[in-house]
Structure 1
Amino acid sequence: MKKFLLIAAAAVVSANVSAQETRFGVKAGYSMSTIKVDEQMDDLEARNTDPSHTFYVGALVEHKISDKFGLQGEILYSPLGGKEDYNASQDDIYFREKTKLTFGTLLIPVSAKYFITEGLSVSAGASFGIILSAKQKTVIDAGIGIPGLELEGDDEVDIKDDVNKLNIAPFIGAEYMLENGLFFDARYNMGVSNLVKEDNAGKMTNSFLQVGVGFKFGGN
């Protein structure tokens, strides 16, 4: 009886160890980033900017705790942000202002994964973004319909000192991996951190969609 129990215990431990697996990988892809602005004024409602179409690139480590559950950590870089295009005209008077915000962001996503099948998984977690650079580019085109009285401007300014450095964005996602380690994934990150540093100056959040491809190497 004791021998049987020892053999059963050894089998359980062996199965648990074999279910654990650590893999490293690289990934890159497309990001669609938007900014939501709430200026907290009675006559202005919260608004979303037009999306910025950009990229991300980085590395990951995945650890399978069992056949069904795992943890994943990543380090990515992405120039996130958003843009606005405001224009107005009346008779011969016109005004157009295009503004683009770009946050060079180091992303550290951490997630828990559930494996529906060996290759298909869903995940949930949070991305901790560290803003390394912040720039605002504004292009102005205005005039009153009289030759020589048009106004044009193209200016880019550093706004890093006006922006909070941490952007926390909870996310949900899905991934499909082939037997050779090639995988495809998609994820939506909803920004919750206020990026406006000045008190009582409103709220600005950054959310982004990521769709990409990557490759995982090896096993234990």
Structure 2
Amino acid sequence: MKKICQLLFSVASILSFAQTHFGVRTGYSLSNMTFDWQQYGKEKLDAKSYFYVGAFVEHNISEKFALQGELNYTELGGKTYVEMTDIVGNQIVTQGMNEVNFHYPQLQIPLSAKYYPIKKLAFLGGLNFGINLDPNVKFKYYDFFNPADVDQNNIKTVNIFPFLGTEFHFTKKFFVDARYNFNFFDINQEGLSTKIGIFQIGLGYRIK
């Protein structure tokens, strides 16, 4: 009976402290895309800069710990160049360069646990679920060819990115946060192994 009373008291203490905050966040996103050509090694594409914008809900379960869910929009991708060649007679002739841009617009749903060592500073970690909206590859030919767009059907509907980050509140309403999404999982269903790591930094505002 004593243990049950202690348990009920602990639950009541947590519930009495529990607070829920809502807000918005926006900032800069930098994605780094890598191809794994197996025996030929890995190819790191030019990084893609974009923005992110979204909303969050944070539920404090104690003075030190909180759970957070978000819904964000951003775009991932990368850029590479492929030399265009042709055989003329018995010679290989370079005709130009093909710029290849990969675009992955996503709705992202990061779910995280947060730890506050002090009131204004938090460390967080969790999983970011990226829902691909319209993945495509844009080819831009630097010569006499015309640009073309190709839909990419090989990418997974949902990509998963484990992430770690930190957050600093400089007022009761405003905060700055930074996080890194790790490229542990392949974004493609099959074929060429492709992974993306994401760095994000930005500002947030607590509405409540």
TM-score, reference length from structure 2: 0.85
Find the counterpart in structure 2 of residue 146 from structure 1. none
Measured in 1, the distance between the counterparts of 2:37 and 2:189 equals 13
The one-letter amino acid paired with 2:161 is A
Q: Conserved in 2, the CA contact under 8 Å of 1:167 and 1:191?
A: no
Measured in 2, the distance between the counterparts of 1:124 and 1:9 equals 28
Go from structure 1 to structure 2 and tell me whether the alpha carbon gap of 1:169 and 1:136 turns closer, same or farther (over 3 Å shift): same
Measured in 1, the distance between the counterparts of 2:140 and 2:9 equals 68
The aligned runs of 1:78-157 (5 Å cut-off) are 78-86=74-82, 93=94, 95-142=96-143, 151-157=144-150
Paired residues, number:
197
Find the counterpart in structure 1 of residue 55 from structure 2. 59
Structure 1 residue 172: Cα displacement: 0.5
Q: Quick one: which of 187, 191, 206 aligns to 2:196?
A: 206
Measured in 2, the distance between the counterparts of 1:214 and 1:96 equals 41
SS in 2 for 1:197: coil
SS in 2 for 1:116: strand
Go from structure 1 to structure 2 and tell me whether the alpha carbon gap of 1:39 and 1:17 turns closer, same or farther (over 3 Å shift): same
Q: Quick one: which of 28, 33, 36 aligns to 1:35?
A: 33
SS in 2 for 1:153: coil
Q: Quick one: which of 6, 21, 37 aligns to 2:19?
A: 21
Q: Conserved in 1, the CA contact under 8 Å of 2:104 and 2:134?
A: yes
Go from structure 1 to structure 2 and tell me whether the alpha carbon gap of 1:9 and 1:100 turns closer, same or farther (over 3 Å shift): closer
Measured in 1, the distance between the counterparts of 2:9 and 2:112 equals 30
The one-letter amino acid paired with 1:216 is R
Q: Does 1:181 align with 2:173?
A: yes
Identity between Structure 1 and Structure 2 (%): 34
Measured in 1, the distance between the counterparts of 2:81 and 2:168 equals 37
Go from structure 1 to structure 2 and tell me whether the alpha carbon gap of 1:214 and 1:109 turns closer, same or farther (over 3 Å shift): same
SS in 2 for 1:194: coil
The one-letter amino acid paired with 1:50 is D
SS in 1 for 2:186: coil
TM-score, reference length from structure 1: 0.80
Structure 1 residue 15: Cα displacement: 5.1
Find the counterpart in structure 2 of residue 172 from structure 1. 164
Go from structure 1 to structure 2 and tell me whether the alpha carbon gap of 1:71 and 1:155 turns closer, same or farther (over 3 Å shift): same
Give unmatched runs, 5+ long, in structure 2. 86-92
